[in-house]
Chains A and B, each alone.
Chain A
Amino acid sequence: MEPLTWTGVLGPVLNPILMAGVAVLILSILASIVLSFVPSGAVAQGDGTLAARRTPADWARLVMQGALWLILAVILIYLGGGIVIPGIENKGIIGALSARFLPVWIALIVTFALSIAFKRRLGLYGKLFDNPIGMAGFGLVMFWIFTALSVGLFDWIVTHDPLTAVSGMKNKVPGTPLNGAGAGDYPYYLLGGDNLARDVFSRMVAGSFVVIRIAPLATLFAFMVGITLGLPAGYIGGRLDTFLSFLANLILAFPVILLFYLLVTPEIVQTGIPSFLAVVLFLFPIVFLVVLFNARFFTEPVKRNTVVAVILVTLGWAYLSLISQPGTPVSFMPAALDLFDIPGGILVVFVSVVFVNAPTVFRIVRGLVMDIKTRDYVAAAQTRGEGPWYIMLWEILPNARGPLIVDFCLRIGYTTILLGTLGFFGLGLPPDSPDWGTTINAGRKLLSIYPHPAIAPALALLSLVLGLNLMADGLREESLKD
């Protein structure tokens, strides 16, 4: 079989148009930069108003916009054409990729249509759709979330098994036909093969599931730890604050990579330090939720007791089966009661990422609390005789949510970068794991000859983190508006 071209049957028609569009775009950008130094000739009219005519700079800008729309339209035709045109040979690589992502496109369109239709009723989330940058970021993030879900739950998008090697496919360029493909096999390696002859596209897509599983949850845990410690540090202050701040600064003064190397090596895992850290860190969400509801329903003992009991039993069981791992020093649960085991490396990675992120969250929360506790409504609650935890959790925390939500988005991105760093140094996750950091690490050795195995996961990671950053920026702008 012939190797696939990038653009399939649409290529001969649309490629020249795309090239022309790019050329016009570059020229018009240069022109508008040069022309922007020419002063605009606004003319004063008789009645005291100013009249301005379109200057050459404005025309250059219009041409630029036109070229941009043209390029976008061509790309959209490629993506859409890939879904409509029958036959993989005719689709080309881009079209075939787009066809594989069909469930994601449908989910994205549904999400956007629903959100835009009801955006006035959705609070801050709805306001995100007033902001083009925030919307673009949200689109990128949702793209990867849907991809991860359809790969992880339904096994939809992947074309081959991400761990199996196929002989004769080592380091093949994108679009190579599969060597000895059977009837049920997908006939091409869409983005080529890596140095162990595995499909780069499937590994990239499967890697998204690893990242989406760990990054948001780890960030959430880091927030729980940071909030539970940061609230009293900021509100009560004094010795407690000095002590906790000292600890936080201690961890922050460490270079992150040194910390990872010290925490995630197999020898340290053997001693059980990560397991003990997990015991401590995973306790915080339970403490947080118990204190939260205890403070809320303190005046209604019956309700309080039921809510707290439910939380303690369910989360306590989950907690115990989470920290109890056969083969580590912390292993005490009988197998019948143990709900789930987290595979080896993931727990260690998870713990170290939480450990690195928590001090920064602590500092942010502490700063916010110190600012908010001087407000009048806090003084009013104190006068009413509310307990300190009620004030912290139900008066101060809801009013600090804006900056915290924005930071949460940014921090998921940062956690993704940290996970990639861990993978890049080959720490924690197993060496054949499809996550992006490990794949980049494996691909970088032959980078100057076969760049495609490293570039695909690099671009994936870049787009996810960029999406999170843009979304955070959009959220910040929108929340500052009112």
Chain B
Amino acid sequence: MRRIKLSVNGVTYEHEVEPRLLLVHYLREGLNLTGTMVGCNTSNCGACTVLLNGQSVKSCTLFAVQADGHEITTVQGLQSNGEWHPMQTAFHENHGLQCGYCTPGMILASVSYLKENPNPNEEEIREALEGNYCRCTGYENIVKAVQQAAGQTS
């Protein structure tokens, strides 16, 4: 067992964890933050995407011990003062989700990307979301949502 101390959605936690505990399981089962899900187990699908120090990472391919000392943001940490993050609003308004299982990861990957490239074109958005699979929407409305959130409501 190993002691870790990290911040998740602005709250500091300290826990003893087994080194092999995956970050996604620490979040889901240790902290009950069930907005982060497992989809593929092979770092392809992105359902488990969270932000580590503000950058998107796949929490199924990260041990909880590797997050020691870092800041994690899950979808539950996106709201501020009860207000949705603009990306959450954009997904809702553009019907960028159906079953919703990929949605938290998709939203977080998009939030992360817009920090790197605030004014992406459609092709760049599609490439930036290459690591997040959605089986319901065909992606078109997801792309529109990200465009809206980026202030490009074209």
Pairing of A with B = no
